[in-house]
Amino acid sequence: METIGHWINGKLVAGTSGRFADVFNPATGDVQAQVALASTAEIDAAIADAAEAQVKWGATNPQRRARVMMEMVRLINRDMDKLAEKLSSEHGKTFPDAKGDIQRGLEVIEFCIGAPHLLKGEFTDSAGPGIDMYSLRQPLGVAAGITPFNFPAMIPLWKMGPALAAGNSFILKPSERDPSVPLMLAALFQEAGLPDGVLQVINGDKEAVDAILDNDTVQAIGFVGSTPIAQYIYARGCANGKRVQCFGGAKNHMIIMPDADLDQAADALVGAGFGAAGERCMAISVAVPVGDATADALIEKLIPRIERLKVGPWTAGDDVDYGPVVTAAAKANILKLVESGVEQGAKLVVDGRGFSLQGYEDGFFVGPHLFDHVTPDMDIYRKEIFGPVLSTVRAQSYEEALKLAMDHEYGNGTAIYTRDGDTARDFANRINVGMIGINVPIPVPLAYHTFGGWKKSVFGDLNQHGTDAFRFYTRTKTVTARWPSGMKEGAAFNFKAMD
């Protein structure tokens, strides 16, 4: 059986802790590899080496760092299929979805090619007599990322790219559930010209996370995952004096107005709700049709679309709409929440509880589920299910629909389907959610904008990728300079001396 280690100082190394975790094939339920779980000592040693390597990398001019990003773009495109196959085999998502995962990460690396411009400071000539003033954006030193299982390529690239382009060294602790693609990306960075030690990829569990949080050398930490863990990492990291950004859970609503194109809305809901088996923080998990007539018509259009969904292994190619969830525990939690919805009075319109795939009976497959008449007090509404379950909450007015989304504790993404520009504009202006779609079901911004939610979906002041990423991974130094001009001056005792 394959044993997966770490990427340390430019090469793959075995773990030394003696602890391992199983890596499953989600389609069959079989253990396909074991991944080493790093000890605190291993983490500390890797961080120390990264700090040493960062000194030279941070002094490398931004244009040369950008050339590494340019070459990385070429290499990812070269190895796209190879990366996607490995991603699908460990995560379970379909091959096209795996390629999309990589592509959205690649777009951030493309954005990072602009690092020389993004790292420019400001300059003021003659701020005072013979005085110039300017600012510098300088790297923090060692930064770290703790990334989730559901996007094993995209989110590591979102974290690594800007941090490295800004001149930091980087410690990546990816999910131990699908660890291979981050290691493959590290090898590509080395091939692209990144010096040894600047990027370290260390697999691990809570011990590794705590070691990163407690290590004084690490200056900044980025995290994506569940809200309870986001709160934990944010609190502990901030208490240790680090710059921290944490992105947590979501419960994304789509409001469907009576004037919406219901065929378009139904197609959008199926794709956004069931793609990647619902294992997306931007998945639409709540449909909010306005008016019973709209709700009845929408449900009528959703049922056949959902019943036609093809669930299977990624090896089935384009014949599959979504694959298994990542673990047996994830499957059990999804089905437990489905049962709670039935017990609490929601109407299960499409029932996927009995789903089984011939030849893959031990795989972690979950059939599609559609609920109607869900109410805000139900567990399936309050909690993030992270599975192929779409809940319908009927609203009798636009204001009632808006209030549902605004009152929920999560505020990652939301969408509205309407033909009315005034309604769409009002929605975008009033809703207290970070990413908004207007007739767009999954409003994930492109790389040159920033990604981030509101409320309990985010902890920290700056978003992921875009210009915020370069602000997060750098600090500003402001210089006030005056060169002697031969003038004799006495001592100055007030701030007006530069006027």
The tens digit of pLDDT for each residue in 205-225 reads 999 999 999 999 999 999 999
* pLDDT-derived band at 128, boundaries 50, 70, 90: confident
The mean pLDDT of 327-332, rounded to a whole number, is 97
The lowest-confidence range among 245-254, 386-395, 447-456, 483-492 is 483-492
Domain identity same for 202 and 281: no
% residues pLDDT > 90 (the chain) = 95
Quick one: what percent of the chain has pLDDT higher than 70? 98
Residue with tokens 């079901």: 441
One domain for residues 223 and 269 = no
Q: Looking at the annotation, which residues are catalytic? A: 281
Are 77 and 103 a contacting pair, CB within 8 Å? no
Q: Please compute the mean of the pLDDT values over residues 81-88 and round it to a whole number.
A: 98
Q: 149 pLDDT exceeds 80?
A: yes
- Section 481-497 average pLDDT: 71
Q: What are 335-352's pLDDT values in tens digits?
A: 999 999 999 999 999 999
pLDDT exceeds 80 at position 487: no
How many domains does the chain contain in total? 2
- In this predicted structure, the answer to whether residue 481 has a pLDDT above a threshold of 70 is yes
pLDDT in tens, 32-66: 999 999 999 999 999 999 999 999 999 999 999 99
Split at pLDDT 50, 70, 90, the class of 483 is confident
Strand pairing class (123-128; 131-139) = antiparallel
When pLDDT is averaged across residues 102-116 and rounded to a whole number, the result is 98
Q: Which residues contact 222 (CB under 8 A, 6 or more apart)?
A: 143, 144, 145, 146, 159, 244, 245, 246, 464, 472
Closest CA to 107 of 428, 390, 384, 447: 447
CATH for 161? 3.40.605.10
Same domain, 142 and 210: yes
Q: What is the mean pLDDT of residues 264-269?
A: 98
Provide the pLDDT for residue 317.
Answer: 82
pLDDT at position 184 is: 98
Do 235 and 277 reside in the same domain of the chain?
no
Same domain membership, residue 75 and residue 224:
yes
Q: Are residues 204 and 270 in the same domain?
A: no
Residue 112 lies in a domain: yes
Give the per-residue pLDDT at 344. 98
Segment 266-290 shows an average pLDDT of 97
CATH number at residue 393: 3.40.309.10
**If you average pLDDT over every residue of the chain, what do you get?**
96
Instruction: Based on the fold, state whether residues 270 and 173 are members of the same structural domain.
Output: no
489, pLDDT greater than 90: no
Question: Among residues 276, 228, 256, which one has the least CA distance to residue 393?
Answer: 256
Residue 447 lies in a domain: no
Q: Is the pLDDT of residue 147 over 90?
A: yes
User: Which residue matches tokens 């944490």?
Assistant: 246
Tell me, yes or no, whether 328 and 410 share the same domain. yes
Give residue 385's domain range. Answer: 252-438
> Is there a single domain that holds both residue 332 and residue 213?
no
Q: Average pLDDT in the 82-91 region?
A: 98
| Per-residue pLDDT, 86 | 98
Checking if the pLDDT of 493 tops 80, the result is no
The residue with tokens 């040369």 is 64
Residues 6+ apart with CB under 8 A from 252: 282, 283, 284, 285, 286, 410, 412, 413, 414, 415
Are 440 and 424 a contacting pair, CB within 8 Å? Answer: no
Residues 240 and 256 in one domain: no
Instruction: Kindly tell me if the per-residue pLDDT of 499 is higher than 90.
Output: no
- Whole-number Å distance between alpha carbons of 273 and 487: 72
Q: What is the mean pLDDT of residues 298-307?
A: 98
| 198 and 211 co-located in one domain | yes
Clarify whether residues 220 and 288 are in a common domain. Answer: no
- Does position 405 have pLDDT exceeding 70, yes or no? yes
Task: Flag whether 490 is in a domain.
Answer: no
Task: Give bridge partners of residue 22 from the DSSP assignment.
Answer: 34
Residue 446 lies in a domain: no
In a domain, 445, yes or no: no
pLDDT, residue 484, reads 78
Q: Is the pLDDT of residue 263 over 70?
A: yes
Question: What number is the average pLDDT over the span 135-161?
Answer: 97
pTM, rounded to two decimals: 0.95
